[in-house]
Structure 1
Amino acid sequence: MRTLFTSLIFILGFSQLNAQQKFTISGSVKDAGNGEEIIGSSILVKELGTGTITNAYGFYSLTLPAGTYHLAYSFVGYATVEKEVQLQSNQKIDIELSVSSVQLEEISIEDKKIETPQDKQISVVKMDVATAKKLPALFGEVDMLKTIQLLPGIQSAGEGNAGFNVRGGANDQNLILLDEATVYNASHLFGFFSVFNPDAVKDLDVYKGGIPAKYGGRLASLIDVRMKDGNSKRFAGTGGLGTISSRLTLESPILKEKGSFIVSGRRTYADVFLKLAPNKDLRDNKLYFYDFNAKGNYRLGEKDRLFVSGYFGRDVLSLAGLFGFDWGNATATLRWNHIYNPKLFSNITAIYSNFDYGIQIDLSETQNFQLVSGIDDYGVKADWSYYPKPNSTIYFGVASVYHKFQPGRFEPIRSTSIFNVSELPKKNAIESSVYYDHKYEFNPRFNIRYGLRLTLFNVIGSTTEYTFSDVNNYDITDTTEYAKGDLIKSYVGPEPRFAASYSLSENASLKASYDHTYQFLHQISNSATTLPTDLWMPSGIHIRPQISDQIAVGYFRNFKKGWEASLEVYHKWMANQIDYRDNADIQFNPVIERELLFGKGWSYGTELLVQKTEGKITGWISYTLAKTMRQVNGINNNDPYPVKNDRRHNISVVGTWQINKRASLSATWVFATGNAITFPGGRYEYDGNILAYYPSRNNYRMPNYHRADISFTLDGKKKEGRKFESSWNFSIYNIYNRANAFSITFREKTDENGNPTGQTEAVKTTLFKIIPSITWNFKF
């Protein structure tokens, strides 16, 4: 017995001694040219065949037994840096990576990020800003959100439409973040362009599934956009002059190695050319947008760093001063990074987000009014990252957001107006959450990520709530007034998440994920396109939170010469999906809840992506085969029906040819099955009026959509010692002049004399045919 006890003490003592011989390497990975921290940079421990990646702030941590190691620091497009480390104590190692000088030849493994199929997370895509800038774009305006719609599982809601749909989800089921602040309307000019200026964007990640527990509040996807921090090495600038807009970005160090800032602005100038019109009414019209990004950061010491960033953008439309329409977003984020020790990293954040719109009608001194609506968010959150071992990373945190909804306020513009002030009941809610997320690698071939997010959603006063009849919910039976801060309704949403990856070989892997998500905010819209006037509403007494369960399985493989392929299948089940009664009235309606119907939905599909990442010719082909259905009592005789964004086939072909050091040619071709739409199946006469007969919901299809674009970029000659560089971009949108349908309406046919014939005809409206554009870009 004594021998057994002595042996146990020896084993425990040896284990403790061994544990004490572990030390931590931590630090940051930066761009050698501008000092920007690199997100997602790989750190590989060659002796162990394992490693880690940098977080959203460029920080990494590795805890290893004492010994000698060779670390490889790498990222796509940068030359790999290798470093030998004699690990006998905790060490802080900051690394700078230089952009690879290899431009035309095939990129060798040493000159690109060391990445295997297992490194790529299922249903997650990191969009490269440089790639997006080379692709053809409408009016030459590079658009990050349009570029991600060339990927499988992400489809455009239509030409000239602000929205996009991910795996059958609605537009409002996409969570779009800019430096952690929610962007509620991510479009300019009714959806022709996005609010993200590519010159100010550092990183953009798209999650179609496998969403970390840190994020919540939407069912379909997460679009996580990070702004640049600013050049900490030297003063620099980028900009461009295009067909309809210009932009300028400036960045500079604040103090050497202490901090930096960036400011970026963009504006269209169609209104400037309208001033030259001979017609006075036309000269008085306005149609433009502008946006402004700013960000600064400052190091308080070795362990602390502050970030402050903001965005402000506005669209303005005015017709001869009689009608006005403006809308826009504003965000502000204050963040404090703190390193407690080499294993524990934290980020404390305060967030503000706003979206609002206004409509003005000014016909005369007495006939004038305006309608304003919007949403404001005030939030705080705290996130921690703990790195106990090289194969284990733990994330945990808390967050709380106060939502203020202004559904609508109707008021006179001038005191002489005959209209009175009228306001819809305001809504208020507090959304609080706590989460735990653990990424664990069992061995170099098998790893998992599991987590749980728990959200408490409280709807509070002051507001007015209505009670509807059980027999006919159009009838109001009672009205209740809630004082400020009164609790009206609470919901609790547990959201488990799981993802796993198994390597079949060095070049192939299998992956799977499961997401259970809640959505407590809803966009109310029964229009054919996504508009700025669409209303945001919280869950409450009459609107339950939307719920989704999604599973996805994927196969990933790398081939020779930079070829890669992935195949994913998914199935999604959705509850409490919102749809609308026939002829629903949602504009300035104080009891909008009675226009809504609720049901279930489901979506499933297959996504194929084949891409080439090396050589003079690069690009990808994506194909999505999918089906999205919905079933709502009170619609379509209670039978299932396709949602309007149900598109069976989506194809994108993207290619870039680097002709030589100065010239490149890019092209895209897209095809999509037409959206589902409700058309009349006949007509009948009732009480002297001709009425349309609709046999079922979404019973027809718009014509199939397809289009090809082409772009040519020519860089200026580079002169030694000269920092100023420029390039010309020539693009043609819709090169074969396809007349794609934006909308289809019906009218009564007339003869050559304008007399009605008693027959009905369909009329197709097209937005864009062939559009050439030219842009001059520069940097210094």
Structure 2
Amino acid sequence: MPYIHRLFHVILIFFPLFANMANGYSQQKVNGYVLDIETGESLPGANIITYPWGTGTTTNQYGYFSLSLPNQTQKVTISYIGYKPIEISTSELPDSTLILFLEPGYILNDITVKTNTLQNFIATPNSPILKLRQSEFRQAGSIFGEPDLLKKIQTLPGISQGKEGGSEIYVRGGHPGQNLIMLDGAPVYNINHAFGLLSIFNVDALKEATIYKGGIPARFGGRLSSVIDVWGREGNENKNQGSFFFSSIGTGLTLEGPVVKKKSTWLLSARRSWPDLLYSGFQSLSSNGRFVPGISFSDITARVNFKIGTDRLFLNLYHGKDNFFVRSETATNKTNYHLSWGNYLASAGYTSVLSSDLFAHALLYFSNYFDKEESENSSQAYNDYFERLSLFRELGTKLSLDWQINTNLLIKTGIAGSYQRFRPAKTNQSLQGQYYSENSPYSDIKTINLYGEGIWSTEHWNLQAGIRTLGEKRDGKSITAILPRLSIGHNLSEQFALKASGMITRQSFYVLSKSSSGWPGYFYVPVPPHVDSSMGTDLSVGFNVSTNRKWNIDIQGYIRQYKNIAASYEIPSDAFAQIDWAEKIKIGDGRSSGLEFLGECHYPFGALKLAYTLSRTQAKFNEYYDGQWFNGDYDRRHDLHLNLLFSLKNDATRKRQLSVNFYYRTGQPLTLPSSEVSGLYPPLLKESYWYDFSFIPHYSGPNNTRMPDYHRLDISYETTKKKKHGARTLSFGLYNAYNRQNPYLIYFDNDDNAYKQLTLFPVMPFIMWKRTF
């Protein structure tokens, strides 16, 4: 799209002119940090507004801001949702970096807080941006009652869930592997526990999450579909504190406190499943160890923060791992099967205030994803074993500068480099005394990115334009690309706003399913040498209407296209162990379009929220349907979420609320035989074949039918009581209250000669108890 490139050039050239015309030259500059007075933690997204002009800025993810004050500014107001605002006269502003503290506990109920949060992200020029703060995703429940960030994200318009209970995120028809998910600026590649029942994020260690469905800023890259930018808490710099919870599936502990008061902090958060310990013990006792299956998960997050004058340093470690195992033993035979997967992540970040209008932040990170499978079968005569390992590693660094030119113009520039190493399969096998080993070669991708963004804002206009330039080397080839981004917002009045955005994205690796039979999990492979990288374009427009903080409606429409995406319909179930995987995938295109609706209505005793998406996602591959478009894997024509929140009690010592959630979405596309052809058994030893060759299934193509539509009702009750030290929270409820038999997968029953559905989650009660101290 050459016209997009020309438009970006014109916008960037005239940015400074527009800004100076809007407000003239500034006489005074102010910069500083906005912090919680009780914990000393930064408050990202706090508002800094000038009076009487009404212009201002917000703090970045580190709680820092820089603002050029227009002439005749009388005072500056600093505010954050749920905190008491403060006002500072311009005559009292010092020349040094400010450290501003806000006091929590401002008398705002949750309903007002949620309205303000919605208005914050709607007022930005990036219309597809959604921002969630800790108070919101702490209330998001999973199947087993434990708060789950990704489950909360799945309820937003334009974002859908895969299989029931899964944590995969499908954004505007895109694949889960096309989402960039980051923790404190570093990429995370394993996003779920227990085959998707829980996400890897422990909400007690998190501060906020920003979701970019479209209009992704130029500072983010490497994925086609979306960005989920998650930031963790720093820890309390004034005193030691913690929390403990116990739910139907796991238990967790979070501890935090100062290393040196006002100078450095630490935070440690850990979770582990507990039913596997109990279940394995009962199985061992009841069957004398003859058959013991189990699944477990664990994760730990550790963070240390240092204040060095106005500079900041943080060190972050994350380790998450899952295990699935089956042990079987008889008098003559012993079998062990063990599957483990997870993600290790280490990062170090440093920020520095170079001047009153120049802020720098640097990051160094290492992320490692692994998937390992081991099986052993031993008897008196032999000892067979099989081992497979799949690896994906990334080492990267980022350096960014934020330059506040004047009241209206902010420039963001930066450079980022990464080194990615893939090894899809390494296998070792011993079979009846014979040893076999087969390894796929290492594949490397080296990239370097330069980006520049300009953010120009006035009372009625918001404009963000950026360009990301890419230099990449893979398979001995050097590749360059220019990826433009643009977002525009116009406030026609205090109640009505228009917005639009566009972007071009690029991705150089595929995320393929480990199995064609529905077995959960993925493995990472680079784009084959003979194929160009995947490309995506997204255009969206929308508007927002709100009034008096009581109701708010946001509507957006989008069109999205994908080029050079991978299909794995014919990859065998053991694809992860194949060395020639590049020869088995098909390359094609995709497209998606839709209309997204988000509405909220707030009243004194509760709130109503409705999220609905009408969309269509299609794919096209030359090998299927004669190259015609067909329903894509993630096509959900209708996706609806309705939430009713009733505030039964809300005062200084006790809080009680009842929540009702209804979900509906069109059934997932599915591939089943379209007909059967008569077949013959091999002429010899018919009885030795386990497969019925009398009929051979014929497939017209992928996604030729759908599962039944999905719907369910959840009801939950939560009560929180303030204690002398901390608080106690108890929540319980019903998942799938009317026991809808939603299909998890469709299988063929040979005994009944018919296809049947497997339901994993009938009506299920859940409970969670939590204590802060």
Shared fold per TM-score greater than 0.5: yes
Alpha-carbon shift at residue 75 of structure 1 (Å): 1.9
Q: TM-score, normalised by structure 1?
A: 0.88
> 2:597 aligns to what?
608
Identify the match of residue 376 of structure 1 among 393, 397, 408: 393
Quote the Cα distance in structure 2 between the aligned partners of 1:361 and 1:535.
19
SS at structure 2 position matched to 1:419: strand
1:57 CA displacement: 0.5
What's the counterpart of residue 36 of structure 1? 41
Q: Tell me the equivalent position of 2:91.
A: 86
Q: 1:143: which partner in 2?
A: 148
Per the TM alignment, residue 97 of structure 1 is displaced from its structure 2 partner at its CA by: 1.8
Choose from 717, 724, 727 the match for 1:725: 727
Q: Is the contact between residue 111 and residue 607 of structure 2 (CA under 8 Å) also seen in structure 1?
A: no
Contact 2:618 2:635 in 1 (8 A): yes
Are 2:468 and 1:508 aligned? no
For the aligned residue pairs, the C-alpha RMSD in angstroms reads 2.4
1:612 Cα deviation after fit: 3.1
Match of 1:646 in 2: 635
* C-alpha distance in 1 between matches for 2:110 and 2:496: 26
| 3-state SS, counterpart of residue 357 of structure 1 | strand
Alignment deviations for residues 498-520 of structure 1 (CA, whole Å, 9 cap, x no partner): 00000111111000000101011
User: Which whole-Å CA distance do the structure 2 matches of 1:529 and 1:353 have between them?
Assistant: 29
Q: CA deviation at 1:676?
A: 1.0
- 1:400-426 deviations in whole A, cap 9, x for unaligned? 111111211112589x96333321111
Aligned counterpart in structure 2 of residue 665 of structure 1, from 644, 647, 658: 658
Q: Give the structure 2 partner of residue 543 of structure 1.
A: 531
Partner of 1:300: 308
How far is 1:211 from its partner?
Answer: 0.7
User: Matched residues in 1 for 2:244 and 2:252: separation?
Assistant: 5
Change (3 A) 1:58 1:283: farther
Quote the Cα distance in structure 2 between the aligned partners of 1:343 and 1:403.
35
Closer/same/farther in 2, CA of residues 614 and 33 from structure 1, 3 Å limit: farther
Structure 1 match to 2:331: none
Residue 318 to residue 452, structure 1, CA distance change in 2 (3 Å): same
Per-residue CA deviation, residues 717-768 of structure 1 (Å, 9 max, x unaligned), is: x35xx22311111121111111100111123454xxxxxxxxx411110110
| Distance (whole Å) between structure 2 residues aligned to residue 513 and residue 611 of structure 1 | 23
Which of residues 145, 160, 164 is equivalent to 1:159? 164
Q: In the alignment, residue 579 of structure 1 is paired with which amino acid?
A: A
Residue pair 1:516, 1:547 contacting (<8 A) in 2 also: yes
Contact 1:733 1:771 in 2 (8 A): yes
Measured after TM superposition, the shift of residue 606 of structure 1 is 0.1
Identify which of 454, 458, 461 aligns with 2:469: 454
- Partner residue in 2 for 1:345: 359
Give, in whole Å, the separation in 2 of the partners of 1:347 and 1:418: 55
Please list the CA deviations of residues 663-711 of structure 1 after superposition, one character each: whole Å capped at 9, or x if unmatched: 1111211100001111212211134431112223211111000111111
What one-letter code is carried by the residue in structure 1 that aligns with 2:566? I
- The amino acid of 2:282's aligned partner reads L
Residue identity matched to 1:331:
L
- Report the counterpart of residue 12 of structure 1 in structure 2: none
Deviation at 1:47, TM superposition (A): 1.6
User: Residue 291 of structure 1 is aligned with which of 288, 299, 320?
Assistant: 299
Q: What secondary structure is seen at the aligned counterpart in 2 of 1:212?
A: coil
1:747 to 749, 761, 771: 749
Letter in 1 for 2:535: I
The Cα shift of 1:392 comes to 0.7
Q: Residues 668-747 of structure 1 correspond to what in structure 2 (within 5 A)?
A: 668-688=661-681, 689=693, 690-716=695-721, 718-719=722-723, 722-747=724-749
* Helix, strand or coil at the partner of 2:465: strand
Given the alignment, which residue of 771, 774, 777 partners 2:764? Answer: 771
Tell me the secondary structure at the aligned position of residue 273 of structure 1. helix
Amino-acid identity (%)? 28
Distance 1:367 1:501 in 2: 64
Give the 3-state SS of the residue equivalent to 1:151 in structure 2: coil
Q: Structure 1, residues 433-455: CA drift from partner, whole Å, max 9, x if none?
A: 110011012x3101200000011
Is the 8 Å Cα contact of residues 327 and 532 (structure 1) preserved in structure 2? no
Map 1:547-566 → 2, pairs under 5 A: 547-566=535-554
SS in 2 for 1:453: strand
- How big is the shift at 1:107? 4.4
Cα distance per residue 1:175-224 (max 9 Å; x no partner) = 11111121112010111110000111111111101111000011111011
Mapping of 1:348-497 within 5 angstroms?
348-364=362-378, 366-412=383-429, 418-441=434-457, 443-460=458-475, 488-497=476-485
- What is the CA–CA distance in structure 2 between the aligned matches of 1:105 and 1:228, rounded to whole Å? 21
Q: Structure 1 residues 111 and 495, CA, compared in 2 at 3 Å: closer, same or farther?
A: closer
Check whether the contact 2:181–2:228 (CA below 8 A) recurs between aligned residues: yes
Q: 1:771: Cα distance to partner?
A: 1.0
Who is 2:10 aligned against? none
Kindly provide the amino acid, as one letter, of the partner of residue 422 in structure 2: F
Query: Contact between 1:25 and 1:63, CA under 8 Å: does it hold in 2?
Result: yes
CA contact (8 A) 2:398 2:417 kept: yes
For 1:647, the aligned partner's letter is R
Distance 1:72 1:579, change over 3 A: same
Residue number in structure 1 paired with 2:685: none
How far residue 270 of structure 1 moved from its aligned partner, in angstroms, is 1.8
Residue 310 (1) aligns with residue 317 (2)? yes
Could you tell me how far apart the structure 1 residues matched to 2:116 and 2:195 are?
A: 42
Separation in 2, partners of 1:21, 1:159 = 55
Counterpart secondary structure, 1:248:
strand
Match of 1:588 among 546, 571, 577: 577
Aligned residues: 722
The 3 A distance-change label for structure 1 pair 251 and 42 is same
Q: How far apart, in 2, do the equivalents of 1:530 and 1:400 lie? A: 36
Change (3 A) 1:534 1:542: farther
- Corresponding residue for residue 274 of structure 2: 269
CA distance in 1, matches of 2:353, 2:503: 31
Deviation at 1:630, TM superposition (A): 1.0
Structure 2 equivalent of residue 482 of structure 1: none
Alignment partners' CA distance in 2, 1:113 and 1:647 = 25
Could you say if the C-alpha distance between residues 613 and 330 of structure 1 is closer, same or farther in structure 2, counting changes exceeding 3 Å?
farther
Do 1:188 and 1:195's aligned partners in 2 also have CA atoms closer than 8 Å? yes
Question: What's the counterpart of residue 217 of structure 1?
Answer: 222
Q: Distance in 2 between matches of 1:110 and 1:565?
A: 11
CA 1:54–1:546: 2 relative to 1, 3 Å: same
For residue 76 of structure 1, give the secondary structure of its aligned residue in structure 2.
coil
Output the CA distance in 1 between the equivalents of 2:115 and 2:157: 29
Matches of 1:391 and 1:207, distance apart in 2: 23
Q: Is the 8 A contact 2:121 2:131 kept in 1?
A: no
Instruction: State how far apart, in whole Å, the 2-side matches of 1:736 and 1:88 are.
Output: 60
- C-alpha distance in structure 2 between counterparts of 1:618 and 1:337, whole Å: 40
Task: Tell me, in whole angstroms, the C-alpha distance in 1 between the residues paired with 2:292 and 2:175.
Answer: 37
Higher mean alpha-carbon deviation, 132-141 vs 278-287, is at: 278-287
| Separation in 2, partners of 1:21, 1:552 | 35
Deviation at 1:529, TM superposition (A): 8.0
**Residue 11 of structure 1 corresponds to which residue in structure 2?**
none
Question: What SS class does the counterpart of residue 190 from structure 2 fall into?
Answer: coil
Higher mean displacement: 529-538 or 379-388 = 529-538
Asked if 1 retains the 8 angstrom alpha-carbon contact of 2:504 and 2:538, the reply is yes
TM normalised by structure 2 equals 0.89
Matches within 5 A, 1:221-232: 221-232=226-237
One-letter code of the match for 2:410? T
Q: One-letter code of the match for 1:298? A: F
Match of 2:326 in 1: 319
Describe the shift of the 1:369–1:528 C-alpha distance in structure 2 as closer, same or farther (beyond 3 A): closer
